Each structure stands twice: as C-alpha cells, then as structure tokens.
Amino acid sequence: MPMPSTGIIMLWLLSGIAIINSCVNGYDGSMMNGMQSLAQWQSYFNTPDGPTLGLLNAIFNAGGTVGVFFAPYVTDKLGRRLGIAIGSVIILIGVILQSAAQNIHQFIGGRFVIGYGLAISGNAAPILVAELAHPHFRGTITGLYNTQWALGSIIAAWVTFGTFSINGQAAWRIPSAVQAAPSVILLIFLPFMPESPRWLVDKGKSDKARAILGKLHGNGNINDPLVNLEMEEIEEAINFERQNEKASYLELVATPGNRYRMFLGITVGLFSQWSGNGLISYYLFKVLDNIGITDSKTQLLINGGLSIYSWILANTGAFITDRVNRRPQFLTATIGMMASFAALTAATGVYNENGNNAAGIAVIVLIFVYSAAYSLAWTALTVLYPTEIMPYNIRAKGLAVSSLAVNLALFFNSYVNPIGLDNIGWKYYFVYVAWLPIEVVTIFFFYKETKGRTLEELAVIFDGEVAAVAGNTDAVTHPDAEKAYIEQAEKVSSEEQFETSSTAAK
C-alpha cells in the first residue's frame, strides 16, 4: 500500500469535500424526524395528518425522481464538478423556500426543489469520488460517500434538539436553514476540486487528465508507471466504448450483461429503502409512540443517539469493504436486519397487548441492533456496488437508474408508511417482516461477487466469454480489481531502474 504522500493526503481531503454532498440526504430524514417531535412545528402547520405528513416527506423524493432524468446529462455533458455546483445551487434555493415558508404549500415546494437539486449533485459527486480515487483506496473512499448520510443525520438530530426549547418559529426554521451548510461548503471548495480524469479524456483533454493523475496518484510525477498504466487503460476503454456507443437509455438494456447490471442496480436501490429502515429514518417518533415513549425531549435524544451510533457503524462498514467480500457483507447484514426487525415487531406486539415495559425496552434495543446490521453494509454498498459494476459509458446513466429506484422506494415509503401506521398501528411492521426474506433470497441467488475478481473475470461474469476485455478494463473501480495496475506499475518501475543501472555500468 502506498505511503501517505502529499498526493494521497490531498486526494483524501478532496474526496472528503465531495463526500460532504451525501450529508444533505441524511440531514433531511433526521430533520423531518425531529420536526415531528417539535410542538412548534406541529402547531405552525396545524398538526399534519397521515397523508399530509406522508406528502411532506415523499415530495422530497418526488423532486429526486424528476431530477435523476436530467442528472446524467449534466454529469456527462457538463462535467462532474459542474454537476455538483448546479445541484448545490438548486439545493440552496430549495432551503431558502423551505426555511422561509409561510404555509405548508411553500414548505412542500421547497422540499421538492431540494430533492431535485440533490439528484443532480448526488449523481455527479460519487462518480467524481470514484474516478479520482487511488486504486488502493477506491473501495473505501467510494463506500464512505454514502456513510456521510449518517453524519448529516447526526447534525440534524442535535440541531433540532438544540432548538427544541426555543419558543416560536425559530425552533423549526433554524434546523431548516442549516440544511444548506453542506452545499455552501461544497460551493466554497469546489474551485479547488479537480475534474474527473476519465471525463477529461472523454472530452479530448488527456494532458489535463494526466496532470491530475500525476498530482494525486503519482506524487507529482506525470510519468509515474501507475499513471502511465491508468492513462492507457482509460484511453483504451473510452475509445472502445466510443466506437460502440449508443445515445439513449436503451443502451442500459441492450445486452444481457447490461440488463443484469440494471437488475442489480435497481434491486440495490429498492432494497436499501424497502427494508423497514424508512420507519426508523422518517417516522421514529411514531415507532416510539407505539411503545409509550411520547415525550418530545426523550424522542429527540433517542434520535440523536441513534444517529451517532449509525454513523460510527456506517464508517466501520465502509472501511471493511476492502477486507470483506461483497456477497457475505450483503447477506450477513440483511439476515441480521430480517431477524432483528421480526423480533422488534414481536416485542412491539407484546407491549401493545399487555403494556409490558420490558418489551418496550427491548424494542429500543432492537432498533439499535437493526441499525447496526443495516449500517455495516447497506449504507456503504448502496452507492459502491452499482458504481463498481457499471462500465464508464453507462456509469452515469446506470447510477441514475439505481438512484431512481431509491427515490421511488422512498416516495412510496414516505407517503404510505404514515398512512399504514395511522390505520393499523404497529401491525403495519408485518409488511417488512414478510418482505425482508425476499431480499435475502434475491441476494443469495443473484448478487455477484465483485471483490477479488480480475478485470477479465468481471467482464466474463456480466458479458459472457466473448467479452472484449479491452473495453471492460475500466468497467470496475475497486482496489482488488486494480491490484494488477499496481503490480504491473512496480514491475515496470523495477525494469526501468535495472535498465538505468545497466546503462550506467556500461
């Protein structure tokens, strides 16, 4: 593994800035959870009923659903950096509308705009992170992108708790306004962010791409053996893909291999939200109401503690992605979620049947157990896995489709969950108790392992024995698949040193 050179340190700092974009999404879910515990917010908007509450949450995802159709155009045509900038500006406009809302319709409109902007920046940012990352750290860095959802959640939970005691509208307007913070940070530092080398090569700017790779991967040496190999692979892959390029989204389903990729990308998006986590992320206060915890301060404290806990475990999950195979990570987490959610449902039922306080305490413990299982895999892999399996020419569109699946699932959950909870209470949990085994079976039979595969093996897995390796060498961006780059670079470097020594000896 490379020493922490200046280039590597700079790479981590730049990636960290882009990763901040993920905070917006996590902030939103936790903020809306906290708002529902604020009497000031409830009073100002006349205590929204189930359908209205569902719309308040779902409209954010509706904006995201619309945005994902435009996101690939911005990301591919205008560049990754400009995609982040455009999305961030739109988010700021939405935050202004939301935090200054005079009625519930303005609040809803602001949330739609925020979701729309996040779809654009959320398409560009993880791709930029993956395409800038050093091969040794690509899995970890890309996995860390989605884990900062939990960091945004922490900030929102404790900002909301901090404003809890403020009398008047400021109690909810301040948390609404703070949602702009990640986008402001991005816009301040974006001028210092380099563009994706792959995008630059695709636009005929290979010299700029080489300079960026030399600075970040070659410690300032644009002719570093690793940089030479990466440039060769990128140019070869993009030339191949350009020759075989199709202009429409039909490219995503044009071959059996791409259809398989789409199936995996869509199911990852759906499963990441249709696993019961939507209840805890957006409607924790209703879950706590079902076990007799109705005090606003206690609810906000639990929400804040759960956010910190989830963030720690999500980061742990991101760092183990380079050490644990993807399939076992997916399966272990989802089986853990299935078991803990079933136990949580049973304990809630016991509490509601006879008021058993021990059952109520068990529910709180099981919420944390469930969150641990989810955070150790799904938070990191929701973005990492679809990014890994997509070749460059469909990466933006493929990730957009996976994000579309996330937004559709969130829209359904956000709108339907509060209605279900209002109508049948805790028994609504059985929907997810029945659904989680389907996820386990799907992962077991259909999810392919990507960690530890060579580039040739990955091409064969998705495209068959006739796969053109030259066109797939840039298809997957994770450390194990690119170990060959490093080994070959070291070999080339050794040979160059030997030739130099031999010449000197003569």
Return d(Cα 94, Cα 179) in angstroms, integer. 10
pLDDT for residue 343: 97
Task: Delimit the domains of the chain by residue range.
Answer: 7-193, 254-471
What is the pLDDT confidence band of residue 493, given thresholds at 50, 70 and 90? Answer: very low
Q: Do 7-193 and 254-471 show the same overall fold?
A: yes
**pLDDT beyond 60 at 480:** no
And the tokens for 336? Answer: 């853990």
Residues 462, 476: contact at Cβ < 8 Å? no
Q: Under DSSP, is residue 323 helix (H, G, I), strand (E, B) or coil?
A: coil
Neighbours of 214 (CB within 10 A): 22
Q: Could you give the percent of the chain with pLDDT greater than 70?
A: 84
What is the pLDDT confidence band of residue 435, given thresholds at 50, 70 and 90? Answer: very high
Per CATH, is 7-193 categorized as 3.40.50.150?
no
Instruction: Give the pLDDT mean for 135-159.
Output: 78
What is the pLDDT confidence band of residue 217, given thresholds at 50, 70 and 90? Answer: confident
Return d(Cα 154, Cα 467) in angstroms, integer. 45
Instruction: Give the pLDDT mean for 420-439.
Output: 93
What is the pLDDT confidence band of residue 436, given thresholds at 50, 70 and 90? Answer: very high
**Class of 254-471 per CATH?**
mainly alpha
Return d(Cα 350, Cα 379) in angstroms, integer. 31
Residues 71, 119: contact at Cβ < 8 Å? yes
Return d(Cα 164, Cα 100) in angstroms, integer. 18
**pLDDT beyond 90 at 372:** yes
Instruction: Give the pLDDT mean for 79-87.
Output: 92
133 or 14: whose pLDDT is higher?
Answer: 133
pLDDT for residue 5: 60
**Which residue spans within 248-305 are E strands per DSSP?**
none
What confidence tens digit (pLDDT) does each residue in 257-297 have? Answer: 889 999 999 999 999 989 988 888 777 888 898 898 988 88
Return d(Cα 58, Cα 163) in angstroms, integer. 25
pLDDT for residue 497: 40
pLDDT for residue 192: 85
226 or 177: whose pLDDT is higher?
Answer: 177
Closest CA to 391 of 117, 143, 202, 137: 202
**pLDDT beyond 70 at 203:** yes
Mean pLDDT for the chain overall: 82
Return d(Cα 23, Cα 307) in angstroms, integer. 12
And the tokens for 49? Answer: 């009923």
What confidence tens digit (pLDDT) does each residue in 223-250 have? Answer: 888 888 888 878 877 776 666 665 567 8
pLDDT for residue 174: 95
**pTM of the predicted model as reported, rounded to 2 decimal places:** 0.70
